[in-house]
Chain A
């Protein structure tokens, strides 16, 4: 019940296209859902995060869509650019335990 399932494992998108990465969870106590971006040789960095009181959050070209009833959330990258090529991780946590539960990661490649 503590798992966060992330898909796909890898994704290739043409420049200018939309990249979509999905995550699903079981624990209904989760109330914080971040996405992290990791470039080769670097540690992950927070990209965008959402709490379940909203269904969507947008920051520039990055949008989180959250479906509480389906227990799913997804990252959309609009107008994908080669510089977006990285590994993306979703995660979740609840207030009683600040430990983040991580998805397995998605390697995104944007083809020029």
Chain B
């Protein structure tokens, strides 16, 4: 089985721009979670989608949004980028009721 894939792997944007990141989960997995990871920081939960519905949401501003498609692929969007949005954005998929999350390699976003 192919693992979780994320595109693009690296991205450089300037302040004020917006960005869309993509995540393709493992085949058969219907839950996709997104995390932000900054240097020296833990995993900050952004949101989780299950069957195209946002099931859980972390404590991030409304500039961060996401969606999930019928094939379980997910996208997250960040509008009006700020310097502090520079981070590694990780996507993880799982197959409820199993809790194990399988992570992708992440998208490294740099905001200049």
Contact = CB atoms under 8 A, between A and B. Distances in A.
Contacts of A102: 42-43, 45
A45 B48 contact: no
Interface string B21-32: 000000000010
Instruction: Bin the interface of chain A by size.
Output: 20 to 34
B96 A98 contact: yes
Contacts of A49: 99-100
Interface residues of B, number: 23
Nearest to A33: B99
A100 B96 CA distance: 12
Contacts of B7: none
A61 interface: no
A34 B99 contact: yes
Nearest to B56: A99
A97 B56 contact: yes
A22 B94 CA distance: 25
Contacts of B104: 43
Interface of A: 32, 34, 41-46, 49, 89, 93, 95, 97-100, 102-105
Interface of B: 4, 31, 33, 41-43, 45, 48, 55-56, 90, 92, 94, 96-97, 99-106
25 contacts: A32-B99, A34-B99, A34-B100, A42-B106, A43-B90, A43-B92, A43-B103, A44-B90, A45-B102, A45-B103, A46-B100, A46-B101, A49-B100, A93-B99, A97-B56, A98-B48, A98-B55, A98-B94, A98-B97, A99-B48, A99-B56, A100-B45, A100-B99, A100-B101, A102-B45
